[in-house]
Amino acid sequence: MPKPEANWAHLRLEDRITPGLNVLFVGINPGVQSALTGHHFAGFSNRFWKLLFESGLVPESISCHDDDRLPEFGYGVTNLVARPSPGIDDLKPEEYLQGWKALDGKIRRFRPRIVAFVGVTLYRALLPVLIEDAEVRKGARVCTLGMQPITIHGAQLFVLPNPSGRNANYPYAAMLDAFRRLRQAIRKSKVEDQPPRAGF
């Protein structure tokens, strides 16, 4: 049973972002537990932090209470919509649009290598806006996990499954596979950024 809205509706999470990140994780909006604790992906059944460790994206097991450490591993986290809610059904279409404008500015400012949308629903909601952007390449798909044929201010776009325990669309093994593919995508992006060796 969620706590009375008066206890959490006004609360906002702090972004964990620094320039030049490998990955900026983007959630759709904070849940009630995240709002109350002040930490990202803090829901009791949320497996985000477990997936980070088991996929090899971080070298040690960390929890939502360590979200301020994400930049030391090359990651950042933010939400499309800052307002917390018990579920995404409470969000209004205009909040997505306003959230996109703010997110677009963050990507332009901080220049992550990869922007990872945490949830297919989030990607689906933003796709109409994304395909209007001049940087978007043809062939954008709605429900495919992994790397997308879209860049945002030079950042590649990756879609992860929602790690909430309420997400019945993907078993844990499929979630873990997607997070491992993200790790591979980071390695690939670093190799591609290296200048070619001079010939002898």
**Does residue 171 or residue 8 have the better pLDDT?**
171
**Annotation marks residue 40 as catalytic:** yes
**Is residue 200 one of the residues assigned to a domain?**
no
Neighbour tally for 182: CB within 10 Å: 25
Mean pLDDT of the chain: 87
**Is residue 14 one of the residues assigned to a domain?**
yes
**Is residue 65 one of the residues assigned to a domain?**
yes
Q: What whole-number percentage of the chain has pLDDT above 70?
A: 86
Structure confidence by residue, pLDDT tens digits, 76-88 = 999 999 998 887 7
**Is residue 186 one of the residues assigned to a domain?**
yes
**Is residue 198 one of the residues assigned to a domain?**
no
Structurally, the chain folds into a number of domains equal to 1
**Is residue 197 one of the residues assigned to a domain?**
no
CATH number of the domain residue 155 falls in: 3.40.470.10
* Sign, Cα dihedral of 174, 176, 140, 193: negative
Q: Half-sphere exposure of residue 179, counting CA atoms within 13 Å on the CB side? A: 24
**Annotation marks residue 167 as catalytic:** no
Domain with 158 in it: 5-190
Active-site residue (options: 29, 46, 79, 162): 29
**Is residue 196 one of the residues assigned to a domain?**
no
C-alpha to C-alpha distance for 51 and 61, rounded to whole angstroms: 10
Output the six-digit token pair for 107: 């990507």
Give strand pairing partners of 78: 26
**Is residue 149 one of the residues assigned to a domain?**
yes
**Does residue 121 or residue 180 have the better pLDDT?**
180
Q: Measuring CA to CA, which residue among 71, 84, 1 is closest to residue 41?
A: 84
Active-site residue (options: 22, 39, 40, 79): 40
Neighbour tally for 138: CB within 10 Å: 6
pLDDT at 10 (0 to 100): 86
